[in-house]
């Protein structure tokens, strides 16, 4: 059994080192082989050199124009050339627990299923990333956390901090959509996998640690309107065009509300500053 591990890196050398060291310490069956594919956005802090030192056989590609989603697509496309059985999407700020991959592979699904690993924030000891179940099929963010210490539970949408995708799903659904530059691609992908007739499961327990560093998704009222509009359009901000495409694709009835919401955040962020926790 061969697993292609996919990473995107950029100037987070210490976090990347911790991630890869945890990958090398995985306790899984002897028949499992792991191969690493990394796309780096021209890091200046020695990230590439560190990757080579920890995993000399890693396949490393450098492209300074790519953000997270683009980098992951590049790693994924390169990995596909070797026809692995699974693809493990892994964030470079995630530290895997020793049995993470074994747990991801611990249940046989027929037909094959995509499996998510939940992470815990080491600073707060609370869940940081994982899967969620939609409570309304018409509204984005109308959902609840999916998590169990003992069971594999079905979910609708998930983060790709730890995401194991069987080759059979890739053959039918493809990889991350090229509409997305940075964020949203993992949400879009898990929703599409479900719509294609496959299941998405959250594995039991926490499979790693990762700090939730997303923060709030609006700019302060103290910033200029020009800065807030730039944030609205930025791939690392609200990614306006991509976000609206995401809503139109998966939650079309919510499109008018989503349009109103993002522009309100841009013109009147004091409302969010005052009322949002």
pLDDT digits (tens, 9 = 90+) for 179-220: 999 989 999 999 999 999 999 999 999 999 999 876 666 667
CB 101 within 8 A of CB 183: no
Q: Parallel, antiparallel, or unpaired for β 157-158 and 131-134? A: antiparallel
Q: What is the CATH number of domain 2-209?
A: 3.90.550.60
Higher pLDDT, 163 or 264: 163
Residue-level pLDDT at 100: 96
Tens of pLDDT along 144-160? 999 999 999 999 999 99
Residue-level pLDDT at 214: 67
- Is the pLDDT reported for residue 241 higher than 70? yes
**Both structure tokens of 217:** 């998704």
- Going by C-alpha positions, the residue among 2, 203, 31, 198 that lies closest to residue 110 is 198
Taking the model in full, what pTM does it have? 0.92
Q: In the chain, which residue ranges form alpha helices assigned H by DSSP?
A: 13-24, 47-54, 68-80, 100-104, 167-173, 185-195, 225-233, 240-250, 255-267, 270-275
Contacts of 135 (CB under 8 A, 6+ apart): 142, 143, 144
- Is the pLDDT reported for residue 277 higher than 60? no
Contacts of 270 (CB under 8 A, 6+ apart): 221
Distance CA 238, CA 229 (A): 9
In the chain, list all ranges with CATH 3.90.550.60: 2-209
Tens of pLDDT along 212-232? 876 666 667 778 888 888 888
């Amino acid at each position: 059994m061969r697993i292609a591990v996919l990473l995107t890196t950029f100037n987070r050398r210490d976090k990347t080192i911790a991630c890869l060291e945890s990958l090398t310490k995985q306790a899984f069956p002897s028949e499992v082989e792991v191969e690493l594919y990394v796309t780096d956005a021209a890091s200046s802090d020695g990230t590439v050199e560190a990757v080579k030192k920890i995993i000399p056989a890693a396949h490393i590609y450098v492209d300074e124009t790519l953000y997270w989603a683009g980098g992951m697509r590049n790693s994924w496309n390169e990995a596909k050339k070797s026809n692995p059985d699974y693809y493990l999407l892994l964030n470079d700020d995630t530290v895997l627990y020793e049995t993470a991959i074994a747990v991801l592979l611990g249940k046989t699904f027929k037909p094959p299923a995509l499996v998510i690993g939940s992470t815990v924030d080491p600073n707060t000891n609370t869940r940081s990333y994982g899967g969620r179940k939609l409570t309304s099929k018409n509204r984005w963010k109308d959902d609840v956390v999916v998590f169990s210490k003992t069971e594999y539970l079905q979910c609708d949408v998930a983060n790709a901090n730890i995401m194991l995708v069987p080759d059979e799903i890739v053959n039918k659904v493809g990889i991350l959509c090229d509409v997305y530059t940075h964020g949203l691609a993992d949400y879009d992908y898990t929703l599409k996998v479900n719509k294609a007739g496959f299941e998405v499961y959250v594995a039991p327990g926490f499979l790693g640690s990762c700090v939730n560093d997303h923060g709030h998704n609006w700019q302060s009222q103290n910033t200029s309107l020009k800065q807030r509009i730039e944030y609205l359009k930025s791939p690392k901000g609200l990614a306006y065009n991509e976000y609206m495409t995401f809503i139109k694709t998966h939650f079309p009835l919510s499109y008018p509300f989503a349009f109103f919401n993002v522009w309100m955040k841009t013109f009147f962020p004091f409302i969010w500053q005052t009322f949002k926790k």
